[in-house]
Each structure stands twice: as structure tokens, then as C-alpha cells.
Amino acid sequence: MSLFTRAISTSYHVFKKYSTAQLLSHSLKMTSTLLNSNVWESDPELFEIVKKEKQRQLKSLELIASENFTSLPVLQCLSSCLHNKYSEGLPGQRYYGGNEYIDEVELLAQKRALEAFNLNPEEWGVNVQSLSGSPANFQVYTAIAEPHGRIMGLDLPDGGHLTHGFMTATKKISATSLFFESMPYKVDPETGYIDYDTLAKNAKLFRPKVIIAGVSCYSRALDYKRFRQICDDVGAYLFSDMAHIAGLVAAGVTPSPFVYSDVVTTTTHKSLRGPRAAIIFFKKGVRSINAKGEKVMYDLESKINQAVFPGLQGGPHNNAIAAIATALKQAQSPEFIQYQKQVVVNAKRLASGLQERGYKIATGGTDVHMLLVDLRNVKLSGAKAEKILEDISIACNKNTVPGDKSALNPSGFRLGTPAITTRGFVEKDIDKVVDFIDRGLKLALEISAKSGPKLVDFNRLAEEDSSFKGKISALRKEVEDFCVQFPLPGVADY
């Protein structure tokens, strides 16, 4: 008898020893273990990675402007039973049964979204189902621009976002520029401020259907009134993407886009400090009065809702919608308002501190939660700055400055204060952050002087030269020892 045949025979005789009931009981126990064990028991390999990421967050300075540390209630919603339910459609109009309580959750999120931004439900509607910011923006274009409709957004090298229509001279980078006709507007290369006058002139020539007021790396408050005037001159919708500043808007510490906009989108995980998701707001009621004196009404509600589902996504993530709802409740609290004020105070302190050390800040400062450091005057690339800061446990991102040609080898880096402010940083702590950044950049200049201009040589020298390795290690320890004094919200270990 072969080994294979013997194994089959043995398995058969073992199987015969047990009754069907015994086998079923054994199967149920196995299933119960699979379903109810903790991840640290069922998948310790994965859990070890999660714990390492938790330690990285605890021991590092998170200065990426689009990141934040969300609250325990948000995390609890994200891991709740709401994840299990499928609910295509809107409340009261579902394609699946069993959505009685899911409807309650979504309606609560809609209600709180309007309340958090002081919106009249007779004038504004809201969709809370978008899975993230980029899909939300594409859903808006689909609804109001239609294929090959013309749009204008701030150019990516000037501080705009990929989803606002970025393309180069040779390639359409963003799907937004692929499916819609995109023309960028720019900042003044001298001041770094948006050039509204040139935008107005170009809009009259291009005749866009949508003008986007939104940024990814621009540190000044937007002039929504001027945007509105430009849109009215050419008959365009004003679409404001407030993803970065939503928390500041809710707290009233920066101008609100709702006064002048037709559509507003936001992610909920940046300054708003919620889950990774997005919201679309749309205007209702009278849009304009025509030449005959007749009211022209908005028709955005059905267009946007249908673009979300069934147009561009299926069932919403109900756990994320619940997390949006609880984050929006927090956004209406006095503590949250004070937090947002401190975010801006910290950003201004960070900008002025770096300026005092000789670094150039685009636009000369900031009105919001972020700033752009222009390194051209110190002869250091943004990529090298990002690398050395990461090596000393400071997380930021390289970023183009006005006039840059390459997003991969830019001349600056972006900093933001929402995450460290969540951890309790105030002005005196920001001064320490400035010192760490300055020392890190000066170390980068030392390495660069020896390595030459190429990033690959810079990285190799930083990793292999014993003198530089020692300096990096010592500075990283200082940063990490400083950071662990500030707690993270959420669960202690993961």
C-alpha cells in the first residue's frame, strides 16, 4: 500500500469513529475560535507590525499636514457591528432589507454635518457616503461637469491637489484631467499668493463649468468672495474642497466656503479628526434669477446622490458613517474649538520660528494649519530634507514650491500642526520642534556637502558613514525621548 493510500485509509477510519453530531460540535468550536479570538492570538505576526506602528506614532513628530490622531469613539465605531451591513441607496430607499438602524445612523450623520457647519437644511443638503476625498471630488465632477466638461483648479506645483485636474505638458496624471478638460490657475511666483486677476482673465477665455477653490499645500485663507465673483462672470459652479481646513471651518477660525459655494467637499480625517471618509455638501433652493425674472432652482441633490450611488460606488461603509457622526458631535464642543485655535497658533509659531533660523516660508507665513518651507535659499532639496527628518523620527513630506518642475525632486517640504496639537503641544513645545528641524536640516547640509547632489548618494552616506550615523542616532533619540511625554488618543497598545 502506498503512503498516499495508507493516509487516505487512516483518515477514513478516524472519520468513522466520530458521529455527525461530534463532528459538527468540533466544527462549531473551530469556527467559534476563528470568529472570536483576538487578533494578537489569531495573527500575532500581523499584530506585531501593528504594535510597531503604534510605537512609531508615539515616538515621532507627525508633521504631515493631512494627518491626525483620531479619537477613541471614532475607532470604536470603525470596529463595530455596523461594518457587517450592506445598505446600497439612501435612508428609506435601500436596495437591501434590514436597514432600520443603519438609516438612523446615516440620518444622524447628515444632521450633525449640517449642524457642525451651521447650515440651514432648507438651503443645504449633504451626502455622507463617499469613501474618501478623491472619490468624492470625482463624484462632484461627474454630477455637475459631465464628461469632458471644463474645470479649473489650482495647479499641483502651486499648492493644488491631484484631483483638481493635474496634468503635465506630456501626460494627464490625474483621472480628473483624463475625463474632464482641465486648465490650472497659478500663484504669483513672487508672493506665493493665488493670482486671482489672471484666474479671472483665463476663466473668461476658457469658460469652465466648474472652478475649484481648494488646496493641498497653500498656507493662506482663500478669498471665496472673489472666487464667487469670477464664477458668476462666466456662469460656473463654485466647488470648494475644504478637506484640509474642515476642522478650522467648523470651529470658526478660518473663513467658511459655504457663504459663496455651490458645492463643498471635505475629507473627515484631517483637521476634522474623524475617520478616513468624505462628505459632499450641495446647495438647495434658488440658484439665480433669469432675465425674465424667473427663479432658477438648484438641481444638485439628485445629480450628486446618483453620482455617488449607483454612479461611482456601491454600498457605503456604515462603520465609517457612524464614525463621521461621532466626530461631528465632537466638532461642536468648546474643547474642539479651542483645539483648532491652538492648531493655528502652533502653525504660526512654527513658521516664525523657522524664519528666525533663516528658512524661507512660502507666502511669508500661514493663516491656517500648515506651512511650506522653501529650501532654495539654503541649497537643500525637499527630498533630502524629508529623508533626514524621517531618520530622526520627524514625519513630513517633500513638496513643490512655485516654479518647481518636478514633484519627485522638489525644493521644499510641507509641515502641519493638527496631529501634534492633538497630542497637547503648545507654543513652548513648538519651539523645541523648530530646534529639532533646524538641527536635522543642518545635518542634512553636512551630509550633502560630502555626498554631492544625488539623493541616492546622500542616502547611502547617511546610512553607511559612521560619523553621520552616530549624529543621526543621537538626534533621533532626543526627538523620541521628547515625543513619548505626549500621549496618543485611542487604545494603548494598538
Residue 402: predicted pLDDT: 86
pLDDT tens for 5-35 read: 444 444 444 445 566 666 566 666 666 888 9
* Percent of the chain residues past pLDDT 90, beyond the cut: 88
> Does the annotation mark 317 as catalytic?
no
Cβ atoms of 77 and 275 closer than 8 Å? yes
Residue 390: predicted pLDDT: 98
pLDDT tens for 381-431 read: 999 999 999 999 999 999 999 888 877 789 999 999 999 999 999 999 999
pLDDT above 90 (res 224): yes
pLDDT tens for 85-139 read: 999 999 999 999 999 999 999 999 999 999 999 999 999 999 999 999 999 999 9
- The pLDDT-based confidence of 468 (bands split at 50, 70, 90) is very high
pLDDT above 80 (res 477): yes
pLDDT above 70 (res 363): yes
Residue 12: predicted pLDDT: 44
Residue 19: predicted pLDDT: 63
* Percent of the chain residues past pLDDT 70, beyond the cut: 94
pLDDT tens for 348-358 read: 999 999 999 99
Cβ atoms of 426 and 349 closer than 8 Å? no
pLDDT above 50 (res 3): no
Mean pLDDT of all residues in 215-243: 98
Residue 5: predicted pLDDT: 46
Residue 11: predicted pLDDT: 46
Question: What is the domain partition of the chain in residue ranges?
Answer: 80-330, 334-483
Which grid coordinates belong to 236?
A: 460656473
Domain 334-483 matching CATH 3.90.1150.10: the answer reads yes
Averaged confidence pLDDT in the chain: 94
Residue 33: predicted pLDDT: 86
> Does the annotation mark 217 as catalytic?
yes
* Nearest partner of 300 among 267, 262, 266, judged by Cα: 262
Which of these ranges, 31-45, 50-64, 336-350, 374-388, has the smallest mean pLDDT? 31-45
CATH topology identical between 80-330 and 334-483: no
pLDDT tens for 298-311 read: 999 999 999 999 99
Alpha-carbon dihedral angle through residues 370, 375, 377, 378, given to the nearest 10 degrees:
130
Q: Which of 161, 164, 244, 269 is catalytic?
A: 269
State the first-to-last Cα distance of the chain, in angstroms, to the nearest integer. Answer: 53
Mean pLDDT of all residues in 356-374: 98
Fold (CATH) for 80-330 = Aspartate Aminotransferase; domain 2 (3.40.640)
Residue 15: predicted pLDDT: 46
Look-up of cell digits 446618483 = 306
pLDDT tens for 173-222 read: 999 999 999 999 999 999 999 999 999 999 999 999 999 999 999 999 99
